[in-house]
Amino acid sequence: MEAEITLLVDGARRSLTVDTRTTLLDALRERLGATAPKKGCDHGQCGSCTVLLNGRRAITCLALAVAHDGAEVTTAEGLADGETLHPVQQAFLDQDGLQCGYCTPGQICSAVGMLDEARAGWPSAVTSDVAGAAVELDDEEISERMSGNLCRCGAYMGIVAAVRQAAGGESP
Amino acid sequence: MIPFGYQRAEDAEGAVATVSRDPNAMFLGGGTNLVDHLKLGVASPGLLVDVTGLPLDRIEPLPGGGVRIGAGVRNSDLAADPTIRSHYPVLSQALLSGASGQLRNLATTGGNLLQRTRCVYFQDVSTPCNKREPGSGCSAVDGYTRYHAILGASRLCVAVHPSDMAVAMTALDAVVQVQGPDRERHIPLVDFHRLPGDAPQRDTVLTHGELITAVDLPSLPTGCRSRYRKVRDRASYAFALVSVAAVLDVGDGTVRDVWIALGGVAHKPWRATRAEEVLRGAPATEETFRRAAEAELADAQPLPDNAFKVPLARNTLVSVLRDLTRRDLTSQTPEDS
């Protein structure tokens, strides 16, 4: 069964007809050519398909496209301002936050969403006082908050350093 | 994946009516479990009724104290809510220990309660499973049982409920608000999920077409403390081997009241009533905590691969109670709760 939907993808309005079974990830990649989000596990276990969905980080492999008609989607490709990289993208380059790069677009979108959550004072599972107002993004907090993005190359040291840099912390 | 229709619900009554009259229809929330089941072939509905657009996304104080959590509230928003963080830290901690940030932004309160077991055999349609296909047999009971139940299981099913949120809510005496085709129901969460018995295909007491609209939490006594601890195979982003949610009210060195639930040990969030009985009115000491934990696990029946869960559950429970009686613990229910 088919449905007409419209998505705002990296600033461009895109209308398409999708089979109701189509995931948001497949609609983006296979129908709209937005290939920054990657298909890793396709079961919500790896995070490589992460985008910003209406401004919040979300996986797209377990989201039905038809259920997100009208949504605003920002992929890693849409984060840059022309030739100027987003600070999180630049930090991944500066800190060697990748090896093969397959998980990187998901890592970057996740980091952008996560930094917004931390700025809003959201606690994490390692925050000692969940009722506290401010969050200090030390390496333990960064690792916990980024745990939904797996990296098979094991570039985690660089990823944590990149997120630390983007968060405004020291970058050794 | 077989083809299915999709409808966006206009209101709760209409959604309930539509699903009630179609045995092949299902409600769709955040989709983080159901869409996976569509891919795996575990679920094959003919119609999905999307309830995420319903006005069930509020967290509101209840007139008599306590709080009402709309069924559509996302797990991330619930965990970050100032009232939940200050008055029910055990619930924030449980939510934050489940899944990942990008999943919690999608997953809903109602959907979290209705998520299904992660038993590998349940999710693998090439193997027999009484929960997926009643009467086909249980592949787990003589299979790989590291992640399975030690309490309340049956020969037909040894699966465990995967939720962290529901464990905290069970300790908090939550009540599930349900809209049915003919009536509304208020179901205490301790009675909401089932033990497998001879019908493991039924996770809950809901009938087809009933829709969760909210979860109510009663207010807690002033000054009591709460905490959630989850033990798992890796530090983050994994389901529980064992988890403990506890709310403790101590005065003059004596346990005035206590509420405990265990996760990862049974087909439902396991309310630890035996431990609570030992603790209530007893001195808040390590010795009491140990006796309470031993009482709760006394009837545990571990499987070949999960005998470790019995001492793990005992030790985790003692450790959480010990933490809750530490002087310097930060999380405490404020005076105005």
Q: List Cα–Cα distances, B263 to A86, B245, B281, in angstroms.
A: 41, 8, 25
Q: Of A53, A117, A125, which is closest to B236 when you measure between CB atoms?
A: A125
pLDDT, one tens digit per residue, over B66-120 is 999 999 999 999 999 999 999 999 999 999 999 999 999 999 999 999 999 999 9
Q: How far is A67 from chain B (nearest CA, A)?
A: 7
Q: How far is A12 from chain B (nearest CA, A)?
A: 23
Distance CA B255, CA A10 (A): 56
Supply the pLDDT for residue B337. Answer: 39
Residue A124 at interface with chain B, using a CB cutoff of 8 Å? yes
A153's tokens = 């190359």
Cβ separation A1–B4 shorter than 8 A: yes
Cβ separation B76–A117 shorter than 8 A: yes
Q: Which domains are seen in chain A, by residue range?
A: 2-78 (3.10.20.30), 87-166 (1.10.150.120)
Band the pLDDT of B310: cuts 50, 70, 90: very high
Q: Which CATH class is domain B225-324?
A: alpha beta
Residue B96 at interface with chain A, using a CB cutoff of 8 Å? yes
Residue B306 at interface with chain A, using a CB cutoff of 8 Å? no
pLDDT, one tens digit per residue, over B198-229 is 999 999 999 999 999 999 999 999 999 999 99
Q: List Cα–Cα distances, B135 to B130, B156, B207, in angstroms.
A: 5, 9, 20
pLDDT tens digit at each of 172 positions of chain A? 999 999 999 999 999 999 999 999 999 999 999 999 999 999 999 999 999 999 999 999 999 999 999 999 999 999 999 999 999 999 999 999 999 999 999 999 999 999 999 999 999 999 999 999 889 999 999 999 999 999 999 999 999 999 999 999 654 4
ipTM associated with this complex: 0.97
Q: Where are the alpha helices (DSSP H) in A27-103?
A: 87-94
Q: Which string of DSSP letters, residue by residue, matches B3-33?
A: --EEEE-SSHHHHHHHHHT-TTEEEESS-TT
Query: Pairing between strand B47-50 and B5-8?
Result: parallel
Supply the pLDDT for residue B151. Answer: 98
What integer best gives the mean pLDDT of chain B? Answer: 96
Domain extent listing, chain B: 5-47, 225-324
Residues of chain A found within 8 Å of residue B116, distances taken between Cβ atoms: none
In this structure, are residues B323 and B329 in contact, taking their beta carbons and an 8 Å threshold? yes
pLDDT, one tens digit per residue, over B143-170 is 999 999 999 999 999 999 999 999 999 9
